[in-house]
Amino acid sequence: MNNAQYTLYVKTWISKFEDYIKLEKIIDPDEAIDEFKSIILIGKEARKKT
């Protein structure tokens, strides 16, 4: 996967999971259930790369 494909993939992923990413504002990642914690952390990482 080249950088352009990766960027498109990340932007698509972020848009699909936008509602979950917004949850980081109301859910403390340290207390979130594992599934939400994973989504929040992956979302933060993805946004750093775009």
pLDDT digits (tens, 9 = 90+) for 1-50: 677 787 778 777 777 777 776 766 666 666 656 777 787 788 888 888 76
Establish how many alpha carbons lie within 13 A of residue 37's alpha carbon, considering only the half-sphere containing its beta carbon.
7
Q: What is the pLDDT of residue 13?
A: 77
Q: What is the pLDDT of residue 21?
A: 67
pTM of the model: 0.33
Q: How far is CA 19 from CA 3, 24, 26, in A?
A: 25, 10, 11
CA 16 to chain centre: 10
Which element (helix H / strand E) includes 21?
helix 18-22
Q: What is the DSSP letter of 25?
A: G
